Each structure stands twice: as C-alpha cells, then as structure tokens.
Structure 1
C-alpha cells in the first residue's frame, strides 16, 4: 500500500469532480482525483454530449423542412450511420485521452480505480490490478460520483438486460422496434432521437409525459411524437419483461396486453452512485443520497457536518439538481469554499454568496431537447403555489410572434411567465417551441437577478426575433 497526501481528494472525475479539482488547484492547493471508469464521466460519454448529438441531426432536418426553399433542397431522410458516427465523435469514441491530458496540464493528479472512504480524511483506491493506494486529504474529501439509471422491480426486467440511458446513448445500430418505460427527460429525448432514426417507438408513461414541467409542455411533446409515428401510452404499466431466444423482448402490461420489441429502454429516474464508496466508514448509509448544508458539506441526520466538516458532496449525489450545469455550478462553490476554509478566509454563505448554491432552490434552468424543445427556469405555477407565493400566471401563444413565423412555417409553441405579485419579480418561466433552448438564459438572468417587472419593460427585444415574446408577456401582464 502506497500513501499519498494532498490538500483535497475528489472521488469521481466527471464534469463536477473535474471542476472541483480545477478550482482547488487554481486556489493554490493540491488535488488528487479518483476515477474508476472514464475521465469525463457520464455527461461526456453516455449522457449530455452523445445524446444531444443523436438528437441534433433530426432537429436540423426538421428545421430545414419547415422553411420553404430549404424544404425543396431536402431530398432524403437521415443517414443513420452518419448520425451514429457523429455521435461517436462527440463521445470521443469512448476514450478519455483528451480529458486525462487536461488533468495533467492543470496540475491535477489522477488515480485510477475504485475509491472508498476508509476513515478520517482518507480514501483507499483499489486499482484494476488489485493494488491499493491510500490517499490522505489535509483539508477535504469531495464525493462527486454522480448517479446511475434506476431499475424498477418488474418481474424479469434485470434478467432481460434492458437498455438504460447508457445503452441508448451508445447503441451501434437502430432497433426496428423500441419500447421505452418512462415519460421524463431521458424517455422523451430518446423517443425523439430514435424515432427520427427510424425506430417504431412506444412510450409507456405511467405518470404522464414530463409531468414535473408545466402541463402544456408534455402536451406539445406528445403531439409531436405521435405525429412522428411514435405511440405514447399514458398510464400504461409493465408487469413483466422477458428476453426471447431470438433476442427480442416481450413486455406484458398490467392489463394483460403484450408488446414485442427489439429493445427495451428503462428511463424512470436515477439512483446515486454511492453503493461502494465507503460511506459506512463515516456512519452513513451506503447507496443513499447525501444530504448537504448550504456550503455543500455532508451532514448527518441531526444536521451536523460529518466528521466535523471535511466531507463534501457535489453534483447528482446530493440530489439538489440532477443536471450537469448545476453540478458544475456546485463544483465551483465547493472548490472555492474549501480553499477559503483552508486559508482561513471569510466564507460567503449568505443567499447568493460565492460559496453557496442558492440557484439550486430558486433558479435551475433546464432544456429538454425534444421536438419541440422545452426550456424552463425556476418554479412552475403549481410549485410556486405550493411554496405559498401569491402569483399571477401569464400565458402566450409563441406562434403569434412575428419572429416565430419567420423562424419556421407552422411554428407551434407556448410561453408562461410566473410572477411573484408581492415582489413583482419573475419566479418561473417556461418556453415550448423549436429552438427555444437559446432563449432560456435571458429568463434565468431575470429570475436570478430578481429583476423587477417595471425594469423589464426597458429591456427591449430585437425585432423580428422569437425573443419578442418578452414584450408580449409584459403587455399581457400590464403595467
């Protein structure tokens, strides 16, 4: 066993862990990062990048077909092999040489293997050859191990070896028939991607489609999927799954109906990757989500920092916001607060302070890259009501904007603004429509900055753009 001492040890070298380490070394401390798979993590190889690459070709083709002149230039359908090859390039062909090179250039030490907390400020790393390295952290250990796909307890499901988000993102061929269990972000994005590539897709959405978003979001996405030839079965539930000898899959529903498919994708949620990282060594339950304080230190059931405050958790594992950009946002706060505490500098832990992730609770932006796209930030109308806010909800038909008609023929979309009437600031904003992803940051700034409605009147949108929706919503709200 070899011993190494660093200021900070990070378990998990995905985007979150990499950003923590970067802020640590930029702050003048040393950092070691532990990774058991590919440096770059889920986002780089099995989530954000490859999935959006799968989706982009279909999106570009649909956009061309919605504009006269461009439509006539399109003479064929998607080239599935070319789409998959492009996807492979964005996943770096599942090789992490570039990411490893970046760690080296940044002065961050990479230790490959399974990292486990073994005691006070110590992490043991078991390599592929069985050799064990013991790492000691002078100041902090950060858990940034992310999350994995959740598999429900359906008879025969695990034995049938279904696709999870990983297999769906990395598949080498297009299944003729694809059944998807789930109605959330992964389910709808993959339904969009694979149907555009030629799969006959059936979505089994027990709890509805995008049920955590504003209701109109799911309605638009369902309509578009069905127009693309997919079948969306809201309320349908799988009772059992069987992988046949010929490799196909049979799904039996609770009402007795049977569906046959070439592949089955399960996309019902996520579970934390904390099963084998040594949480029991610090009195925590293995496999559970980690609870953190405002500065992202792991706390116990009584609310006290574990071990006196040396253990932190950033990204999916703390369940605050399961999206990569929020994990990276947390990582910046974690890296900076560890440096501040190590150097005895003031900790800025008031709301919106440098060392806290306030936006996780108030202003999380998210884009669902379906057709049409769904972009949102902050609270839905229902969530704002549940929070006890006195709100006013303003809706507007996005297709009625001059810029929308120019953008695409037959443009369909919707916008909603949720206003806190007591403070006259926006607390929630949702857009549904083609290419609305690029509009959401303006709403994010308005929500984070708590820009008064009266001041927003002076933020004049350029004409003719889809951003004119801001003026129309304000006009509907009134002065």
Structure 2
C-alpha cells in the first residue's frame, strides 16, 4: 500500500456505530460495494458507552425496586446489590470494550472496514489516516454517508478541566462505585445515571438548572421521576446552577449559584451533546465544521446529491433506534438512486422518507419509574397549531397495575386531535411502561382513528388495560 492509494467504492460510510452499520447493511444488500471507516470501536457509542452498558447498570436497580413492591418477595431483597457483579455484567455486555464480534458481522455482510480517522476530501471522497499514519483515499461513485454521531458537551466552567469530570462515557464504564456522586443535568442521561449509581450505593446529588427533570416530556414525567429519586435517597435540587468546580485533595467541590458548596468523589456532567463533525472535512465541501447537518426526508444533506447525514449528526432525534430507522431509509434511498429510480420523496408513507422523525418518535427513559413517550406532548401539539385535548388516567386504576406492583404509581396521557380524532402523542410513566410504548407508537404512526382503537382489545389483567381507561375518559 502507498500513502497515495485511491480505492473506489459505490458507497463510503463514515462511522461504524449502529447507524453506520445499518446503512452499510442496506447498501450491501442492494449489491453496492461499501467501505466503512471507524476511528474507535465498531459498534459505536451505543454498544460500549451508552445504551448497552447503561441498561446493564440499570436493570438490577429496577428489578430490585420491582421486587420490593411485590408481596412475598420484598423481604428477600432488603440488602444492597452486589455492585461488583453488576459492574462485571456491564463489562460483559460491552464485550470488555473489544469489537471483534462487530467486526465479524461487518465482514459477514461483505463491507470493507478501514480503521482510522476519516475526513471528507472534496465531493465523493474520504481520506483515511490509519493508526500507523498510512493514508488512503476512498472515492464513492454514488454516496458518502456521515454517521459520526455526537459527543458529550461540557460547559465552560472555571476549573473544569483540572477536575477531570465524568461524561456519559465515564459514567457507564466506571470500574467502581463512587461513595458520593454529583450529577449535573436533568435530562435522560442525568436521570438514568442518577438512578443507576444511587441504586448501586452512591449518595447522589442531582443538580438541575431548570424547574424540573425530563423537560422534553410531559411535566408529570419529570415530577414522578424526581419524587422516586428522592424516595431512593438522592438529593434532587432544581433551579440550581453550578458556578465553579475544583478538586481538593481528591475531593470534588462544586459551588452553586446560591453559594452552596457540595463535595463528592466524582462529578458527572450530562449537559447536552454536540455533533462529531468538527474534524471530518466539512469545509472541503462547503459546509461548516462542527455543525449539525440539515437533511431532507431521505437523509440527503441539503444542497448536495451525494452526501447523506444519518443519525445524531442531523439533530432530528438523538436516539439509537431512530438513527437505525433513518439508516434503513437512507440505505434504501441510496440504492434506489444508484439504480436510477425516481424517489417519491413527498409520499408520506414511502420507503425512502423518514416521516417518523416528524410525527412518531418513541423514547423510553429507564429510570424507576420508567417514562415512555411517543409523538407530541400537549404543549408541542398546541404550539404546532393542532386543536387537541389531553386525557389523563392514573395507571393504578387498572387491575394489572396492582398485580404488577403493590402500591403501583404511574400516569398515562394521550393527546387527541379533536378535528381528526387521532392521537398526536402518548406518554406513560410507571414501572414497566417501556413495554407499552410500541402499541402507542403504532397508534400514532398509523394515525389510527379513535373509533378503531376501541376494537383493539387489551388483555386482562395487564397494564395494557390503561388504553381502555384512556378511551373511556375521552368519551366521558
């Protein structure tokens, strides 16, 4: 190999996380030669520092909480969790941060993997610098797909660099349980990690700048999660900003806007994400380095006919499952265009149009209680100009809730479009509700009329009967 070698492919994918893998899978299935470039581990953030390790940490915490709400079982689970075993299982789920299995999968679909840093080098070209310094240029006959994801965004606080704070990566890969942990933020990462580490034995202090938690969901979601965290022993402080941090003799000291001084062993900042586009050569194709990439519904970057941005980098929905959905759409669109097919980009249910990004994005927050939502919240629906009505039901009103957990506490809301009589959004909060959200996703994505939902009969006695209670409340 020489430093100036140029290799031609039909498609070049920049980033081998779940999104990049799915783009490659679809283009290879269509017979297109595909190269995948990865600077870290094949499998990406989700496999090693996000979805998989975080859920491995959370599952024992939530299972114990459920057991403690179950008559006849609660006495058997009074003791602490075996933190060492939980951490060992988390490490197993990440394959000990080795990507051999993911590499075998990529090879199995016939894609070529290039390890190293990839940068655009003008239209339809990606320059790859390998770990040994060797450079190659990969050219794409049809498409380059940017699937580089996001990174944690840290605030510009005095003393932050010296503190060596945790981000989501350190929070999910830590080798031991900190005695005291400060979590800064009120979103998904903050609430999930507060739940996990409090359950594993940390004394967690959660500092939230805003009025409440999970502010992108219905207000009651954050309220119920905050209440449960407090009951679990966490110190939840809303309306609290962090003005400075330092590490003194190994102890983290955070000073709040009100002058409070909080000490801990570690501090986690879960204060947002930024696109990993700052050093991928966007300037060589007239785009701004470090920016989010605007795309059409086929995931093609605005103003280009060859560049795609799939997953977090387009800022549509920073969720792994939504990125994989986009990848399937993008792969199909690339293949169709390569074959010379005309795409019906305006067709709302077309195979090449990511309409769910606008209308039916589902999400589960794996706290205790779980919070799950799809579509629009009441406030979002009203802001969008829909004439809507919110229908609320306490999930404890169904028999299945009492069987699931003694003293079950949770709430459900559906946002009904009063003119079209379809659902614009649904939110569930309560133990186990993550398994309910796909039924709501089908109702929202399929625009199922309220009249038809009456004939989707929930099994008795399950928590799914909350659907019946919601419909009854709507009809009055």
CA deviations on 1:262-320 (whole Å, 9 max, x unpaired) are: 00000011000001100000011111111111211111xxxxx23xx110000000000
Question: Partners of 2:75 and 2:39 in 1: how far apart?
Answer: 50
Q: 1:433 aligns with which of 430, 440, 444?
A: 430
Alignment of 1:267-346 (within 5 A): 267-299=270-302, 305-306=303-304, 309-346=305-342
Alignment of 1:141-156 (within 5 A): 141-156=144-159
Question: Partners of 1:77 and 1:410 in 2: how far apart?
Answer: 22
Q: Please give the secondary structure, in 1, of the residue aligned with 2:214.
A: coil
Q: 2:134 aligns with which of 115, 126, 131?
A: 131
Alpha-carbon offset, residue 383 of structure 1: 0.2
Question: Partners of 2:167 and 2:250 in 1: how far apart?
Answer: 17
Shifted more, 155-164 versus 215-224: the winner is 155-164
Please say if residues 352 and 359 of structure 1, whose CA atoms lie closer than 8 Å, have aligned partners that are also in contact.
no
Q: Please give the secondary structure, in 2, of the residue aligned with 1:119.
A: coil
Shifted more, 191-200 versus 347-356: the winner is 347-356
Please say if residues 52 and 94 of structure 2, whose CA atoms lie closer than 8 Å, have aligned partners that are also in contact.
yes
CA deviations on 1:188-221 (whole Å, 9 max, x unpaired) are: 0000000000000001100121111100001100
In the other structure, the counterpart of 1:237 is 241
Name structure 1 gaps, 5 residues minimum.
300-304
In the other structure, the counterpart of 1:215 is 219
In the other structure, the counterpart of 1:418 is 415
CA deviations on 1:54-90 (whole Å, 9 max, x unpaired) are: 0001111111111112223335320000000010011
Question: Partners of 1:436 and 1:325 in 2: how far apart?
Answer: 17
Alpha-carbon offset, residue 322 of structure 1: 0.3
**What is the RMSD computed on CA atoms of the aligned residues?**
0.9
Please say if residues 299 and 330 of structure 2, whose CA atoms lie closer than 8 Å, have aligned partners that are also in contact.
yes
Q: 1:408 aligns with which of 405, 408, 412?
A: 405
Normalised by the length of structure 1, the TM-score is 0.97
Alignment of 1:443-458 (within 5 A): 443-458=440-455
In the other structure, the counterpart of 1:376 is 373
Q: 2:183 aligns with which of 162, 167, 180?
A: 180
Please say if residues 62 and 368 of structure 2, whose CA atoms lie closer than 8 Å, have aligned partners that are also in contact.
yes
Aligned residues: 471
Greater than 3 Å deviation, 4+ residue runs: none
Alpha-carbon offset, residue 235 of structure 1: 0.6
Please say if residues 373 and 426 of structure 2, whose CA atoms lie closer than 8 Å, have aligned partners that are also in contact.
yes
Q: 1:92 aligns with which of 65, 83, 95?
A: 95
Alpha-carbon offset, residue 347 of structure 1: 1.3
Indicate whether 1:395 and 2:399 are aligned.
no
Question: Partners of 2:128 and 2:348 in 1: how far apart?
Answer: 36
In the other structure, the counterpart of 1:107 is 110
